[in-house]
């Protein structure tokens, strides 16, 4: 017979009242069929069958292959210890996930842990969520070392939005950073073609070699506004882990990249949509927004973003002309 103390304990680890009564029956009688249990406890066949399945699934009891099926207790010490371990591991996983989510909020809000905000992610989905938030709040510049193309593809939409806000983006790389990427320059240029990134090829490695899980791998960086130093542990195109700091380390890492021997600089030109808009303006000399939209095939918010960007960069200029009744006309021309 289960005492009230054990009853409360079973309830605390997640068993319902009916499951506790059925488990109590099997502890007392050592075994039983569904009909035995339902007659004793006055439950329906369905209620007993459903809860026996749950007790068997969580490992407190087992059943035979006979007909009718006989349900037997498993040693409570073994079964309950295993169940508690499973629940502990499940809670630990939830705690770790909550901890990582809190670190995202701390990094965004600028809170410091032991004077320097540190965040670590083995869960790459959380890592990218953090990156998107950091990039969205970037004010001046984003500097990257060699990074896997797969990672850059996932960051590209956020980098494009940063570029449209006027954020300067640079990527340093070296052929020595990869064993298999003979076409890294071509691939990274194609991946970041919308972002206006300046790509700088150096003679020396831009990544550090470190040992991770008994394997020699690369550690690359993403530096944001000389404030955040994000480290990416990877090999070729596989990302293993991401962590980062908010503190003075970002400036030091930036200097280490800037002193490397430059072999080649490539400034990715404007995206195709920008070139189409500029081509139409150049051809017409001065053109109204509505006519520009018709000729370029680009309209709405996208055209407005492109025009605002080009005006801010000093490539085109905006003229507002009164045209009598109604709203004034907005015209654009190339800056000489």
Q: Are residues 226 and 295 in the same domain?
A: no
Residue 204 is predicted with a pLDDT of 92
In the chain, the number of structural domains is 3
Q: Are residues 132 and 247 in the same domain?
A: yes
pLDDT tens sequence across 18-46: 998 998 899 888 899 999 999 999 988 88
Q: Is 25 contained in some domain? A: yes
Q: Cβ distance 295 to 229 under 8 Å?
A: no
Q: Is 199 contained in some domain? A: yes
Assess whether the previous peptide bond of 68 is cis (omega < 30° from 0).
yes
Q: Are residues 249 and 277 in the same domain?
A: no
Residue 203 is predicted with a pLDDT of 93
Q: Are residues 199 and 186 in the same domain?
A: yes
Question: ∠ CA 119-123-129 to the nearest 5 degrees?
Answer: 70
Q: Are residues 111 and 243 in the same domain?
A: yes
Q: Is 83 contained in some domain? A: no
Chosen domain end from 40, 74, 108:
74
Q: Is 207 contained in some domain? A: yes
* Token pair 């009718």: residue: 68
Residue 331 is predicted with a pLDDT of 86
CATH of residue 311's domain is: 1.10.10.10
Give the domain range for residue 296: 272-334
pTM: 0.57
Distance CA 234, CA 148 (A): 7
Residue 167 is predicted with a pLDDT of 92
Q: Is 191 contained in some domain? A: yes
Q: What is the 3 state secondary structure string of 99-154?
A: HHHHHHHHHHHCCCCCCCEEEEECCHHHHHHHHHHHHHCCCCEEEECCCCHHHHHH
Reported as a pLDDT band with limits 50, 70 and 90, residue 146 is: very high
Q: Are residues 252 and 287 in the same domain?
A: no
- The overall average pLDDT reported for the chain is 83
pLDDT tens sequence across 76-124: 777 777 777 777 666 666 666 666 666 555 554 444 444 445 677 777 8
Q: Are residues 116 and 258 in the same domain?
A: yes
Question: ∠ CA 118-121-126 to the nearest 5 degrees?
Answer: 110
């Amino acid at each position: 017979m289960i005492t009230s103390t054990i009853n409360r304990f079973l309830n605390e680890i997640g068993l319902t009242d009916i499951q506790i009564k059925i488990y109590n029956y099997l502890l007392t009688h050592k075994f039983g069929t569904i009909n035995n249990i339902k007659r004793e406890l006055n439950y329906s066949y369905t209620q007993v069958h459903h809860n026996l399945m749950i007790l068997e699934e969580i490992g407190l009891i087992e059943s035979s292959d006979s007909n009718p099926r006989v349900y037997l207790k498993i040693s409570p010490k073994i079964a309950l210890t295993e169940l508690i371990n499973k629940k502990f591991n499940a809670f630990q996983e939830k705690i770790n996930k909550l901890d990582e989510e809190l670190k995202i909020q701390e990094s965004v809000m600028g809170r410091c842990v032991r004077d320097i905000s540190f965040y670590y992610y083995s869960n790459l989905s959380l890592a990218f969520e953090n990156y998107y938030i950091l990039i969205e709040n970037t004010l001046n510049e984003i500097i990257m070392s060699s990074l896997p193309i797969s990672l850059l593809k996932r960051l590209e939409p956020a980098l494009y939005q940063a570029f449209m806000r006027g954020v300067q983006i640079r990527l340093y790389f070296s052929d020595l950073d990869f064993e298999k990427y003979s076409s890294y320059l071509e691939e990274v240029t194609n991946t970041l073609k919308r972002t206006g990134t300046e790509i700088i090829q150096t003679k020396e490695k831009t990544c550090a070699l470190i040992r991770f899980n008994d394997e020699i791998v690369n550690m690359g960086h993403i530096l944001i506004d000389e404030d955040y130093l994000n480290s990416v542990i990877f090999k070729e195109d596989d990302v293993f882990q991401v962590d980062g700091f908010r503190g003075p380390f970002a400036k030091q890492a930036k200097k280490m990249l800037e002193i490397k021997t430059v072999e080649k600089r490539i400034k990715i030109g404007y995206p195709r949509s920008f070139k189409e808009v500029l081509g139409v303006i150049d051809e017409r000399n001065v053109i109204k927004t509505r006519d520009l939209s018709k000729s370029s095939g680009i309209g709405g918010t996208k055209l407005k973003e492109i025009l605002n960007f080009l005006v801010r960069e000093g490539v085109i200029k905006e003229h507002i002309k009164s045209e009598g009744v109604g709203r004034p006309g907005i015209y654009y021309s190339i800056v000489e």
